[in-house]
């Protein structure tokens, strides 16, 4: 067995313990290469996941790497699960379980939990979700306007991902919103630290800080994770790039797999320059291109290649396929967006009937979420089942999360995020200053916020007006906790809702119609808890675990449902469908009207490329000649990307594109009749 330092490339490919049959030469080369840093340029549908999983198996079975010394990093939990399942078929269960296959953020959590002390955090620090963070930013910026909050949150997030400190942000602020974000950023960070909490971005940013300030800790993790494989490398931001560099160290033992033609997340901080940096910062970098596509027909790939050829290229690459020519691509011009939705659904129905397909074979893709509404209406009218990608889970609604925060706290009083949310929703005189002081004290004592509230040391620091409502809340939780462990759920939850007066809180803080909707959702949730509790004889504490499990399974099993997939183009990346309907392909939508400068336009073109390459067997594209906005019909132009696809393999129908030849023919006939009549005279 060879050791990690040996050169496996020099060895015969046929000598591997891993089954390499069915792999093309480029895939094999990518698997066997261990002489230094490697960039695998993996085109759409080129089998990159198989390359990564087979390489992991090769490292373990042929090269003497211990599974615990290998990390594979993805961008989504779904991708991590898929990779884990595939590797599980190549290695023993014990070997597969030792691997670190996770998202960047999950790896960040693992590092921070172990090294929290070095950064002044307790190991059980809290991770705040977007809603928790928005509340803090709102307090810091003194605003409750939701649009402003979203913008401030986005600006601060982008700064964090670019490793811009609060101090530096003050100098970088170029407009009113950035100036407001910069002033909120400093106090936001201080508040998080006081709460012994981190946000989503910190899960990457803090490991960079940790490794940069503590070289011995960096070396410890470099020795622990001796080989790194990074999926979707083109989606990394500046922060993630630094994590990669700091984790690999001078050995630079890594395989980065990505595709510059699918870099579509610039708007959330992804930096395509990370691809440009690799050859410069790692001179020994080997580049291998995977250009054979195993997903799509020749016509689909030809259209995709034609479109992306209009972009500046970091690396030249042309996808090809052995799956046959396939059906022509259909482009349909529709009268307006209502007609488009109707046309797409009717064509989908007819195509499915003709080919005896399943609903899950079909996807309808679009640029922006708002485009889904009319499509949903038509699908419901035709009784066609569908799944809305990125649609909000019932358990993710703010009012449901409010109630669940109480239930989480009853199940575990050390759950700090649940404590903060429950203590402040509805407001009961526990303000940000009180929670900051409590968070600072809890951090010093390495205890939860709940336990810190009862300690004499905190009582000496806090003012009576701060301490009284805090202890009142904690005693209330204790009383409900005692009941929740022994009484049926259907007895405890109604009393909890009545005690916190949540209905009155909704009507005080929202418009009447919104309050009614949200209170109805709470009622539906309570009915479900009560019914399940009664049916299964469970306490409220038991039901908290059930909720977590149901929510998790809800997100995991969507692939198994026979339903048409509705998705934005961004959410569809990495997925594939036999038949794709790409709608709203118009100037102003795709490309987006706010993305017409040269850099953003290239990203929009990559988005079109991603949409085309989701299709395996057939591709249907549509656009509107007019689009209804409010009560007006606005004229539309087909996207420039349709023209860039070329016309050889495209069949046009509807609107001007289809009728132009007919008009010409009609004109010619009219002229002929005029000539005939003139001759008879």
Query: Tell me, what DSSP letter sits at residue 90?
Result: T
Rounded Cα gap, residues 210 and 669, in angstroms: 79
Backbone conformation region of residue 45, classed left if phi is above 0, alpha if psi is from -120 to 50, else beta: left
Which contacts qualify for 630-635: CB closer than 8 Å, 24 or more apart? Answer: 633/336
CA dihedral 346, 347, 350, 354 (to 10 degrees): -170
**Burial, 110: exposed, middle or buried (Cβ in 10 Å; 0-12, 13-18, 19+)?**
middle
Look up 100 and say whether it is catalytic: no
Is 232 catalytic? The answer is yes
Chain centroid to Cα 365, Å, comes to 16
- DSSP conformation class of 8: G
CB 26 within 8 A of CB 289: yes
Catalytic position from the list 26, 29, 48, 317: 48
Let me know: does 413 contact 450? Beta carbons within 8 Å.
yes
Beta bridge partners of 386: 564
394 Cβ contact partners less than 8 Å away, ≥ 6 residues apart: 400, 521, 525
What tokens were used for 91? 């290695």
Contact 134, 245 (CB under 8 A): no
Three-state SS string across 517-563, please? Answer: HHHHHHHHHHHHHHHHHHHHCCEHHHHHHHHHHHHHHHHHHHHHCCC
Q: Is 48 assigned a catalytic role?
A: yes
Task: Annotate 147-192 with DSSP letters as a single string.
Answer: HHHHHHHHHHHHHHHTT--HHHHHHH--SHHHHHHHHHHHHHHHHH
CA atoms within 13 A on the CB side of 645: 30
Tokens 């404590």, located at residue: 419
Helix axes 398-411, 464-484, angle to 10 degrees: 80
Q: Considering 29, 189, 232, 603, which one is annotated as catalytic?
A: 232
Please tell me what DSSP assigns to residue 393.
P
Q: Is 283 exposed, middle or buried (0-12, 13-18, 19+ CB in 10 A)?
A: exposed
Reading the block at residue 444, the tokens are: 């010093």
Among 2, 49, 98, 445, the active-site one is 49
Answer yes or no: are the C-beta atoms of 315 and 41 closer than 8 Å.
Answer: yes
Q: Which one is catalytic: 614, 617, 627, 640?
A: 614
Token digits of residue 183:
């002033």
Order of strands, sheet of 329-334, starting from the edge strand that comes earlier in the sequence: 386-388, 564-568, 362-366, 577-582, 615-624, 329-334, 650-653
> To which residue do tokens 């499990």 refer?
549
Taking alpha carbons only, the member of 532, 529, 534, 453 closest to residue 494 is 529
Strand partners, 256: 39, 230
178 is catalytic: no
Per the CB < 8 A criterion, the answer to whether 89 and 75 are in contact is: no
Alpha helices in 446-488 (DSSP H): 449-454, 456-461, 464-484
Between CA 536 and CA 542 the distance in angstroms is: 10
Catalytic residue among 231, 260, 361, 604: 231
- d(CA 565, CA 359) in angstroms, rounded, equals 8
Catalytic residue set: 48-49, 231-232, 262, 614
């Amino acid at each position: 067995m060879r050791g990690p330092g040996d050169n496996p490339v020099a060895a015969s490919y046929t000598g591997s313990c891993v089954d390499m049959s069915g792999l093309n030469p480029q895939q094999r080369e990518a698997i066997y290469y261990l002489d230094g840093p490697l960039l695998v340029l993996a085109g759409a549908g080129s089998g990159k996941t198989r390359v990564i999983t087979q390489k992991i198996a090769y490292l373990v079975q042929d090269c003497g790497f211990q599974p615990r010394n290998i990390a594979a990093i993805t961008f989504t939990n779904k991708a991590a699960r898929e990779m884990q399942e595939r590797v599980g078929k190549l290695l023993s269960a014990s070997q597969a379980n030792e691997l670190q296959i996770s998202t960047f953020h999950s790896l960040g959590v693992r590092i921070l939990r172990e090294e929290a002390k070095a950064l002044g955090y307790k190991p059980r620090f809290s991770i705040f979700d977007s809603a928790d963070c928005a509340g803090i930013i709102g307090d810091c910026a003194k605003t409750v306007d939701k649009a402003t909050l979203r913008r401030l949150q986005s600006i601060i997030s982008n700064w964090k991902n670019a490793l811009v400190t609060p101090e530096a942000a003050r100098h970088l602020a170029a407009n009113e919103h950035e100036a407001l974000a910069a002033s909120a950023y400093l106090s936001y960070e201080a508040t998080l630290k006081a709460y012994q909490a981190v946000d989503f971005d910190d899960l990457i940013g803090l490991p960079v800080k940790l490794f940069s300030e503590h070289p011995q800790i960096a070396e410890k993790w470099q020795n622990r994770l001796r080989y790194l494989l990074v999926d979707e490398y083109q989606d990394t931001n500046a922060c993630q790039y630094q994590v990669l560099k700091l984790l690999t160290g001078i050995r630079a033992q890594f395989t980065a797999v990505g595709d510059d033609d699918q870099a579509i997340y610039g708007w959330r901080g992804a930096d395509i320059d990370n691809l440009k940096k690799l050859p410069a910062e790692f001179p020994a970098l080997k580049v291998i291109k995977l250009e054979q596509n195993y997903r799509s027909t020749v016509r689909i790939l030809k259209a995709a290649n034609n479109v992306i050829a209009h972009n500046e290229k970091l690396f030249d690459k042309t996808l090809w396929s052995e799956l046959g020519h396939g059906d022509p691509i259909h482009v349909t011009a529709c009268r307006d967006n209502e007609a488009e939705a109707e046309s797409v659904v009717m064509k989908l129905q007819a195509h499915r009937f003709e080919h005896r397909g399943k609903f899950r074979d079909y996807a309808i893709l679009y640029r922006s979420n708002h485009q889904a509404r009319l499509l949903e209406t038509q699908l419901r009218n035709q009784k066609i089942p569908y799944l809305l990608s990125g649609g909000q889970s019932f358990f993710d609604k703010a009012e449901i999360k409010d109630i669940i925060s109480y239930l989480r706290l009853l199940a575990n009083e050390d759950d700090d995020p649940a404590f903060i949310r429950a203590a402040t929703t509805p407001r009961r005189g526990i303000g940000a200053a009180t929670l900051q002081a409590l968070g600072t004290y809890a951090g010093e004592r390495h205890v939860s916020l709940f336990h810190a509230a009862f300690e004499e040391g905190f009582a000496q620091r806090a003012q009576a007006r701060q301490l009284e409502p805090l202890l009142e809340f904690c005693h209330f939780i204790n009383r409900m906790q005692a009941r929740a462990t022994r009484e049926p759920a259907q007895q405890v939850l109604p009393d909890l809702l009545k005690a916190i007066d949540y209905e009155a809180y909704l009507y005080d803080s929202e418009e009447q119609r919104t309050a009614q909707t949200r209170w109805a959702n709470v009622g539906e949730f309570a009915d479900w808890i009560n019914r399940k509790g009664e049916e299964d004889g469970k306490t409220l504490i038991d039901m908290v675990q059930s909720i977590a499990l149901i929510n998790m399974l809800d997100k995991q099993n969507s692939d198994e449902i026979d339903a048409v997939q509705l998705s934005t183009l961004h959410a569809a990346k990495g997925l594939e469908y036999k038949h794709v309907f790409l709608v709203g392909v118009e100037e102003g939508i795709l490309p987006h009207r706010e993305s017409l400068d040269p850099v953003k336009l290239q990203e929009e073109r990559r988005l079109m490329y991603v949409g085309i390459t989701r299709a395996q067997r057939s591709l249907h594209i549509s656009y509107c000649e007019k689009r209804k906005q409010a009560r007006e019909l606005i004229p539309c132009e087909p996207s420039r990307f349709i023209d860039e696809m070329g016309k050889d393999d495209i069949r046009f129908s509807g609107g001007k594109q289809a009728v132009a030849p007919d008009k010409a023919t009609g004109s010619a006939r009219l002229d002929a009749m005029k000539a005939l009549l003139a001759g008879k005279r």
